[in-house]
Amino acid sequence: MDYSIIKKLLEERNISFKELSDKLGVDRNNLYNSLTKGNPTLQRLESVAEVLGVPVWRLFTEDTKPELFGTIIYDGEVYSVSSKEELRSITAKIIGAHS
């Protein structure tokens, strides 16, 4: 997930970050930290995407027609994939961790 994309989507829709946190019913600082420093849950990302009126994948890329796009959740970690190379890298990391 790329916070700069969320920031841009908020600006395009004239929604402040405070308005976003209010609509989600989440403390503004906690939301900010989870989106910029933490690892937001899929549920959180789905909620943000719903408020912004975009599909969840749009929070990860500005490319409106990515070659490949997906989210892999493995062992509590969320990985964003938007290219074959990223998929190879993440797959190697997961396989390597369990070899």
DSSP letter for 59, please: G
In this model, does residue 58 exceed pLDDT 80?
yes
Examine the pLDDT at 82 and tell me if it is beyond 80: no
Q: Could you state, in order of their start, the residue ranges of all structural domains in the chain?
A: 3-59
- Looking at residue 10, its pLDDT comes to 95
pLDDT of residue 24: 95
The pTM (predicted TM-score) of the whole model is 0.65
pLDDT digits (tens, 9 = 90+) for 3-33: 889 999 999 999 999 999 999 999 999 999 9
Q: How far is residue 68's CA from residue 14's CA, in Å, rounded to a whole number?
A: 30
CA gap 12, 7 in Å, rounded: 9
H helices of 1-99, where?
3-12, 17-24, 28-36, 42-52, 84-97
Q: Are strands 77-81 and 70-74 parallel, antiparallel or unpaired?
A: antiparallel
Assigned CATH for 3-59: 1.10.260.40
DSSP class of 15: -
